[in-house]
């Protein structure tokens, strides 16, 4: 929250605009589509991520729904990420939006959020998985490995009768959630849980699919070492945030690992929570922007 206040206070041309240009795909679907074309030329694949979070009103929700409906019609896009808080957790509106995206042959990544909302996110996501993951993974659930319960949840979901889409991340809400008692207090414990999650998924893949989402050099090296093209090419993917680890993606592509970039887009004002998390994760980027 403090970083958001700082970004709000600063003149837009000092830091906010450069951050926005560095970490996002612009303000609208036109700029998003241009970025997708650019990524494709670099053998990278897109995950579209409308940047507006935490809707406050029904008007916000309806605006988000309209945006997702437009995203569904993009022909050069397979994966769309959604945050359920942007629907005020209205399950009917979430179902209608997902149904429309599936109609356009899109697959949906349900993003994890803060601790206070994660249980309801998991419940809604599980209902979507039951409905849509009948013949293949269409709905992907996110597992934040800084949470002490995530490894158990992965193992439990592997025992289900549904196709699973896994998205493995470390987590982006540590400052907000660190007092909850649900997170590891040491980075080493999160690293261990992340590695164990990857091992479990590689060893129990079956008909499931997984995104390994990491900027960590050791994790990327391990993914490259473990990846077997003949077994994993259509089941194990790497994903990272746009603006991060640009040098590492070429190694992943060279090993024929499908490599995705999260492409957040939307208005600059709506981007402030996202930009504050990115600045917290990678403060050294400032020297390249100012």
Angle (CA) 36-40-41 rounded to 5° is 120
Is a pLDDT exceeding 60 seen at residue 290?
A: no
| pTM of the model as a whole | 0.92
Say what the pLDDT of residue 258 is: 97
- Over residues 98-135, the pLDDT tens digits come to 999 999 999 999 999 999 999 999 999 999 999 999 99
Which range in 194-198, 273-277, 285-289 is most confidently predicted, on average pLDDT? 194-198
Question: What range defines the domain where residue 48 resides?
Answer: 25-265
Assigned domain for 103 exists: yes
- Over residues 30-72, the pLDDT tens digits come to 999 999 999 999 999 999 999 988 889 999 999 999 999 999 9
Assigned domain for 99 exists: yes
User: Structurally, how many domains does the chain consist of?
Assistant: 1
Is a pLDDT exceeding 60 seen at residue 141?
A: yes
Which one is predicted more confidently, 189 or 271?
Answer: 189
- Over residues 212-247, the pLDDT tens digits come to 999 999 999 999 999 999 999 999 999 999 988 878
Which one is predicted more confidently, 39 or 172?
Answer: 39
Assigned domain for 150 exists: yes
CATH of the domain at 186: 3.20.20.220
Assigned domain for 113 exists: yes
Residue 282: band (very low, low, confident or very high) from pLDDT cuts 50, 70, 90: low
Share the mean pLDDT of the chain: 90
Assigned domain for 286 exists: no
Assigned domain for 233 exists: yes
Assigned domain for 277 exists: no
**What CA–CA distances, in Å, run from 106 to 6, 117, 179?**
37, 25, 37
Assigned domain for 274 exists: no
Mean pLDDT of 10-27: 78
Is a pLDDT exceeding 90 seen at residue 276?
A: no
Which one is predicted more confidently, 18 or 119?
Answer: 119
Say what the pLDDT of residue 287 is: 45
- Over residues 213-222, the pLDDT tens digits come to 999 999 999 9
């Amino acid at each position: 929250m403090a970083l958001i206040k700082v970004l709000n206070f600063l003149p837009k041309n000092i830091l906010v605009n450069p951050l926005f240009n560095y970490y996002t795909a612009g303000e609208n679907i036109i700029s998003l589509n241009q970025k997708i074309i650019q990524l494709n030329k670099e053998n990278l694949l897109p995950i579209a991520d409308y940047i507006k979070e935490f809707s406050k009103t029904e008007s916000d929700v309806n605006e988000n729904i309209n945006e997702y409906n437009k995203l569904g019609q993009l022909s050069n896009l397979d994966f769309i990420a959604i945050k359920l808080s942007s629907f005020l957790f209205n399950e009917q509106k979430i179902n209608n939006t997902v149904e429309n995206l599936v109609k356009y042959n899109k697959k949906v990544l349900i993003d994890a959020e803060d601790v206070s909302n994660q249980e309801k996110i998991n419940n809604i996501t599980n209902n979507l998985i039951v409905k849509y993951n009948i013949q293949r993974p269409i709905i992907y659930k996110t597992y934040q490995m800084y949470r002490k319960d995530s490894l158990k949840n992965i193992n439990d979901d592997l025992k289900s009768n549904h196709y699973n889409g896994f998205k493995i991340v470390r987590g982006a809400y540590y400052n907000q959630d660190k007092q909850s008692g649900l997170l590891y207090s040491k980075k080493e414990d999160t690293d261990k849980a992340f590695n164990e999650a990857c091992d479990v998924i590689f060893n129990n893949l079956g008909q499931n699919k997984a995104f390994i989402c990491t900027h960590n050099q050791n994790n990327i090296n391990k993914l490259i070492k473990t990846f077997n093209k003949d077994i994993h090419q259509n089941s194990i993917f790497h994903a990272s945030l746009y603006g991060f680890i640009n040098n590492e993606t070429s190694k992943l592509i060279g090993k024929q690992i499908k490599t995705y970039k999260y492409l957040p887009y939307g208005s600059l004002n709506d981007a402030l929570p996202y930009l504050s998390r990115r600045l917290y994760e990678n403060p050294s980027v400032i020297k390249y922007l100012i």
